[in-house]
Chains A and B, each alone.
Chain A
Amino acid sequence: MASYDSDEEVDYATDPAWAHITPLPQDDGENPLAQIAYHPDYVLAMSYLRGVMAINYHSAQVLKLTADIIGMNAAHYTVWGYRFKTLVALEASNGFEDEKTNWSWRKELDWVQSIAKQYEKNYQIWHHRQLIIDHLNDPTGERERTNEMFASDSKNYHVWTYRQWLVKRFNLFDKEELDTMELLLKEDVRNNSAWNHRYFITLGRLGTDSPADGVIDREIKFAKVAISSAPQNPSPWNYLKAVLRKGNIDLASLKAFCEQFAPIDSEDEIKSSHALDILSEIYDETGDFSKAEQALVLLAAKYDPVRKNYWRYRKRLLGSSENVPTASEKTPIVHATV
């Protein structure tokens, strides 16, 4: 019999170890649409999986079977879910220790990482990892695993979702986390995912609580330095606005900073459409409508013409900002229970 972590092929139909499982065929219905002409190996493995699931059978053998199927279809959420249940059942019955099984959570995590590198756009792999780490209650090495993934795709949504969960679950709002984001942004200051994570760990996690002293100032400085290195990068501009909002600091405090990148009377020196955008807001707030409009016209005509209709809409709203309540002042939709 093959050991469970080997690549050795198992013929489920003839291997005596599987004789006690009754394979169940797949019912695709009569004359089905978009039927898939599966490889016979997949058909066989899936029919044994259905047989295993039907009797709720959890043994080390299931690890081999589910790994086989995942190797052919990594998006098979049912198989991932069943594998996790099997792992938990094995642990509870000391099944990992069995010399034939010879499995451990650590081996499982290494195997998952190897699958993750093959299938980057996949929800299930990272969710499986999350379930395991949650169960083990130990994040050791996990940040390093996600860093490895960022090396090939620094904006992988699933990996970032996992990283956020990890940081929140184990309260990893620490210097290492901040340093990692700094490093990622140093490599690519346009990595919006890293900006998002930075916001999460510095301010977003706080909810309605106030940030510690100095955090707002530090983040403003950080964003401004990033802007200076590439003024047409939207990420730090959005970040800067968000930090000011969180710190209840008036947008108008950015006026001089923005004018540095978008002196609207010296058009040739305009280096950032985002600065123009914010300036139009600031001029609007301070009642300087003609300058606000001038900024919007420049955006529509020259610096961001595909958004012309949006800039026109913004012009339409000039002077009305004080009438627009913010979301928090309004009553949300509540579906009360009676």
Chain B
Amino acid sequence: MVQVEPLEEGEQPQLATRTEGNTNEAFHPNLYQMAPERVPALHLNLPFILDDLKTETSQKQLSTARSIMKSVDQPFLPPLDKATHVEFLLSPLDEGLSGGFVGLDASRPWLLYWCINALSLLGKDVGIYNDRAVSSLKPLQHPSGGFGGGNGQAPHVAAAYASILTLAITSYYASIGLPEDERLAVYADSFAWIDRGKLLQWLRKIKLPNGGFKVNEGGEEDVRAGYCALVVLALLGYDDEDLRGDLSRGELPLLDGVAEYFKSCQTWEGGIGAKPNAEAHGGYAFCVLAALCLLGDPEEALSKTLDLNRLISWLSARQYAPEGGFSGRTNKLVDGCYSTWVGGCWSLVEAAANAIESGKKSTKMNVGDLWSRKALIRYILTCCQGPRGGLRDKPGIRPDYYHSNYVLLGLSAAQHYYYYDDVSVQSPVLTKSPFRHGYRWKSSKNVPKPTGHDGTGGGWLEGLVSEESDRVGVQHPLFNIPLGAEGQLQSWWEWFNDVGDVDALSSEN
């Protein structure tokens, strides 16, 4: 008979604390002995039930679980090797890429975004890249509006998304600590050249009558396109009137039917697919949840549009033991990038679950974590760090820039508490924006444990980082850029839409 632990709030402290390494062990024997924690049993054993019937899926799963089990079984969690990862990520920016990367020639803005955002997560000041980001992205703006994946390429919504995010990050860092007028000048250089009118016209061309979006003219329809389009709209300072468009000219209101479209992508499994009837998939789940949370507060956006309980059940089933990481679909293997695509969904659904329970009890409630932060952290630190820098899908697979960003972003989701702040006061302009809810996210290092049924109790979850040097930066849970960058960008648009005199700004300086 198994030892049945009570299903009570919080978890036992599970992380092994690390010592300073061999030298320190010798000098501080007590410190060494102070690391008594065990590797949680769930990482040390294969699942209790394994079916006899073998198929390709079960064999792949079993061999993956077996090999990962060896990696996660480390009494001392390895540190996040920031210096080596930084080196890996700086190389494309400083030295460029070899010809072998030609397959990413239609994803140039993505390369910038992945590397720059990952570097910001690792604590690097990426403001030094602002000018070069601007000069790299300007040739990607298409004469008819929008951004292509490279110079001369057709506009594509994912290219616009990655371009805007990159500029939002570098201008944020470049303007930290600057006086107001200089800060505005940085943003003017980064954003005033974007033809927002043409971009809007182009977005109307990829808007579909079913409420969704295509990725480009003549391209495929999926929820990724919808998410990218909404993020671009939310970060470029458009007002309600811009989004509605001119009906007399036959322009479709850009947000019409989009929530209903996303709703139609929730599948029989409870997860979310690329488009109606497509298989539930973590990447598309994130796109839909984040996009919906741009349009409403989490409770309204998620529980009223989706079947939240079935969604949570499906999301929860993505976390595997002994691996600790997330898979993207039912019966598929874990992959480090789902640390973001699935891991990033949790703060959104937990905010909704908290609001629902608070509403029922008429007092502030916290349902606590619905997932295991610690198991994901263990998977990332033990399995996703490439020995020569960069982060990866799983052991044995080469690190790349995409995984580096999304593994670190997922680590940020696990190390920080992200919550929806419905009380702080927003600017008058923002309160009129359809995306105002997207600007209400905050973070805390303290992760609350669940409150009891009367709203009391709780406390904080301990031991998410063994040392502060393992901590990565805070990110906005919908935009996937450093938290705070969205607010600075928004205040620039408010100034620009109001004053609009960029020349005066630069002559002052």
Task: Give the B-binding residues of A (Cβ under 8 A).
Answer: 24, 26-39, 42, 46, 50, 53, 72-78, 81, 84-85, 123, 127, 130-131, 154-155, 157, 160-161, 164, 168, 187-193, 196, 199-200, 203-205, 229-235, 238-239, 242, 245-246, 267, 270-273, 277, 293, 296-298, 300-313, 315-317, 320, 323-324, 326-327, 330-335, 337-338
Given contacts A42-B102, A160-B279, A192-B279, contact A267 B218 (CB under 8 A): no
Contact of B372 (CB < 8 Å), options: A293, A308, A313: A308
Q: Is the CB of B331 within 8 A of A77?
A: no
Collect the chain A residues with CB atoms within 8 Å of residue B151's CB. Answer: 26-29
10 A-B contacts (beta carbon < 8 Å): A36-B98, A81-B216, A85-B218, A233-B51, A238-B330, A301-B5, A308-B7, A310-B312, A326-B307, A338-B244
Q: Is the CB of A157 within 8 A of B216?
A: no
Q: Does B84 contact A (CB under 8 A)?
A: no
Q: Does B96 contact A (CB under 8 A)?
A: yes
Q: Is the CB of A333 within 8 A of B372?
A: no
Alpha-carbon separation in the docked complex, A173 to B10 (Å): 49
Contact with A along B305-316 (1 / 0, CB 8 A): 111110011001
Minimum C-beta distance from A239 to chain B (A): 7
Minimum C-beta distance from B413 to chain A (A): 14
Q: Is the CB of B304 within 8 A of A330?
A: yes
* Shortest beta-carbon contacts, A-B, top 9: A242-B268, A190-B57, A306-B321, A230-B51, A310-B316, A196-B279, A29-B135, A188-B55, A192-B330
Alpha-carbon separation in the docked complex, A35 to B1 (Å): 61
Given contacts A233-B51, A315-B7, contact A74 B103 (CB under 8 A): yes
Alpha-carbon separation in the docked complex, A35 to B137 (Å): 11
By beta carbon, the residue of chain B nearest A119 is B103
Number of residues of chain B lying within 8 A (CB) of chain A: 121
Q: Is the CB of B49 within 8 A of A270?
A: yes
Collect the chain B residues with CB atoms within 8 Å of residue A50's CB. Answer: 152
Minimum C-beta distance from A70 to chain B (A): 11
Contact of A196 (CB < 8 Å), options: B50, B104, B267, B321: B267
Stretch at the interface among B256-264, B383-391, B420-428, B476-484: B256-264
Collect the chain A residues with CB atoms within 8 Å of residue B8's CB. Answer: 312
Q: Is the CB of B7 within 8 A of A232?
A: no
Q: Is the CB of A36 within 8 A of B5?
A: no
Minimum C-beta distance from A72 to chain B (A): 6
Given contacts A155-B332, A332-B259, contact A160 B278 (CB under 8 A): yes
By beta carbon, the residue of chain B nearest A49 is B152
Q: Is the CB of A29 within 8 A of B136?
A: yes
Alpha-carbon separation in the docked complex, A161 to B367 (Å): 37
Q: Does B296 contact A (CB under 8 A)?
A: yes
Collect the chain A residues with CB atoms within 8 Å of residue B372's CB. Answer: 306-309
By beta carbon, the residue of chain B nearest A82 is B154
Given contacts A28-B136, A192-B329, A323-B360, contact A38 B106 (CB under 8 A): no
Minimum C-beta distance from B45 to chain A (A): 9
Q: Does B112 contact A (CB under 8 A)?
A: yes
Given contacts A31-B132, A37-B96, A161-B278, contact A187 B55 (CB under 8 A): yes
Given contacts A36-B101, A38-B102, A332-B260, contact A306 B324 (CB under 8 A): yes
Alpha-carbon separation in the docked complex, A137 to B2 (Å): 61
Alpha-carbon separation in the docked complex, A334 to B8 (Å): 40
Minimum C-beta distance from A150 to chain B (A): 11
Q: Is the CB of A39 within 8 A of B102?
A: yes
Contact of B97 (CB < 8 Å), options: A35, A46, A78, A231: A35
Q: Is the CB of B56 within 8 A of A188?
A: yes
Alpha-carbon separation in the docked complex, A54 to B203 (Å): 22
> From residue 1 to 17 of chain B, which have CB atoms closer than 8 A to chain A?
1-9, 11
Collect the chain B residues with CB atoms within 8 Å of residue A200's CB. Answer: 277
Minimum C-beta distance from A330 to chain B (A): 4
By beta carbon, the residue of chain A nearest B267 is A196
Alpha-carbon separation in the docked complex, A130 to B221 (Å): 12
Q: Is the CB of B93 within 8 A of A33?
A: yes
Minimum C-beta distance from A200 to chain B (A): 5
Q: Is the CB of B7 within 8 A of A78?
A: no
> From residue 336 to 376 of chain B, which have CB atoms closer than 8 A to chain A?
353, 360, 367-372, 375
Alpha-carbon separation in the docked complex, A332 to B312 (Å): 19
Q: Is the CB of A312 within 8 A of B5?
A: no
Q: Does B111 contact A (CB under 8 A)?
A: yes
Collect the chain A residues with CB atoms within 8 Å of residue B430's CB. Answer: none
Alpha-carbon separation in the docked complex, A78 to B149 (Å): 9
Q: Is the CB of A316 within 8 A of B450?
A: yes
Collect the chain A residues with CB atoms within 8 Å of residue B253's CB. Answer: 335, 337
By beta carbon, the residue of chain A nearest B301 is A333
